[in-house]
Amino acid sequence: MSPIPITIITGFLGSGKTTLILNLLPQLRASNPSYRLALLKNEFGDLAVDSQLASTSSITGVREMLNGCICCNLVGSLSSALEELTNTAKPDRIVIETSGSAFPATLAMEVNRLARESKAETGEEKWMLDGVVSVVDVENWQGYEDTSYTAKIQARYTDLIVFNKWEKCDERRFDECLDRVGDLEVDTAWVKSDKGWVDMNLVFGIDGGLARKLTGTDETHGGNEPGKEGEHNHDHQSEVEVLSVTLKGKSQNSAIDGGKLMEFLEKAPKEEVYRIKAVLDVNGASVRNSDDDAKAATESQTGSLPGAK
């Protein structure tokens, strides 16, 4: 039996990871209507918003890991989560969507370790790391790239970079973003999405050129170095603060005023609020959601960073 390929989708808060995944599923189903895709979703907060969205998108199985980061304090739960998805969903592929503050290299090493352990126990690998894909928000990346160690690490330890949300930026802004990624001294292929849409053949079948080579001896961040075991958690806490709010109306059928909601969102400071997500019942048609920008396109633009093969 062939191992189940695992694709890790990473990227900073609000970069468009979930939209990318939801746009991949129709492509998979178009080529194979019986294709079974399972999603393992990690969220730093305590509300399972994305699993509600994914469950309505014909994803075969969804498992959400909340209140922590899958690359550090929740890494020990990865094995049981993968086992659960494998046994219940019987997927053709598993996609792991990390929290916006996760280090992908650490997670890639853990997947590689679990694959080796499964082979040692049964003689066959249950899983195979297909690759790590990092989503970069071109419109906002320059702002948090300057201060976020996490954003830089995510762009460095990856097999493919997807430049997202570039449509409203001028050519100079995109070139600056490309130069900043190039400054990380990585030889990584990249693709520009079309409003969150990327050809599935570019995302899947990467064969983990970088990720599958990572082992527990690689230096990926301070948390793996002697004497710095607590540094990784500190990075999460200093860069990201999560606030979860549950709104209750006067009656069960109460809806949110769309106009007032947009007025509130427009006042949120972009330099402080990276991402807002919710499931809302909204009155009025003036509120646009992420799905409005997640329409399939016929082609994507591809390229490579300087020196990429």
* Domain ranges for the chain: 4-238+293-304
Distance separating alpha carbons of residues 153 and 233, to the nearest angstrom: 15
- Exposure string for 13-52, b = 16+ CB within 10 A, e = fewer: bbbbbbbbbbbbbebbeeeeeebbbbbbbbbbeebbbbbe
pLDDT recorded at residue 210: 52
How many Cβ atoms from other residues are within 10 Å of residue 244's Cβ?
Answer: 10
Query: Is CATH 3.40.50.300 the right assignment for the domain spanning 4-238+293-304?
Result: yes
pLDDT recorded at residue 56: 54
**What is the β-pairing status of strands 93-97 and 4-11?**
parallel
The angle that helices 231-239 and 149-156 make with each other, rounded to 10 degrees, is: 110
- CB 219, CB 213: distance < 8 Å: no
Distance separating alpha carbons of residues 57 and 132, to the nearest angstrom: 23
Token pair 């305590």 is at which residue?
Answer: 46
- At residue 62, the 3 state secondary structure works out as strand
- CB 290, CB 19: distance < 8 Å: yes
Q: If you ran DSSP here, which 8-state letter would residue 2 be given?
A: P
pLDDT recorded at residue 158: 85
pLDDT recorded at residue 62: 81
pLDDT recorded at residue 298: 32
What value does the CA radius of gyration of the chain take, rounded to a whole number of Å? 19
Q: Which residues of the chain are under the pLDDT cut of 50?
A: 45-46, 147, 216-234, 237, 285-287, 290-302, 304-309
Q: What is the distance of C-alpha 226 from the center of its chain?
A: 29
One-letter identity of residue 46: D
Token pair 């806490």 is at which residue?
Answer: 237
**What is the β-pairing status of strands 256-257 and 282-283?**
parallel
**What is the β-pairing status of strands 189-192 and 160-164?**
parallel
- CB 149, CB 159: distance < 8 Å: no
Provide the H-helix boundaries in 32-148. Answer: 49-55, 78-89, 104-122, 138-145
Distance separating alpha carbons of residues 184 and 81, to the nearest angstrom: 33
The angle that helices 171-182 and 138-145 make with each other, rounded to 10 degrees, is: 50
pLDDT recorded at residue 14: 80
Residues contacting residue 270 through CB under 8 Å, at least 6 positions apart? 140, 143
Reported pTM:
0.74
